[in-house]
Amino acid sequence: MKERIEWLKGLTYIPQKEIAWLIEQAELAEKQRAIIEENKRQQEVTVHQFQQAQEEIQRLTKENEELILKVEAQEEEIRDLEFENSNLEDEIEELEDKVEALEGAAE
Per-residue pLDDT tens listing for the chain (107 residues): 778 777 777 777 778 888 888 889 989 999 999 999 999 999 999 999 999 999 999 999 999 999 999 999 999 999 999 999 999 998 999 999 888 888 877 76
Q: With contact defined as beta carbons under 8 Å apart, do 52 and 46 qualify?
A: no
Q: With contact defined as beta carbons under 8 Å apart, do 22 and 8 qualify?
A: yes
This prediction has a pTM of 0.55
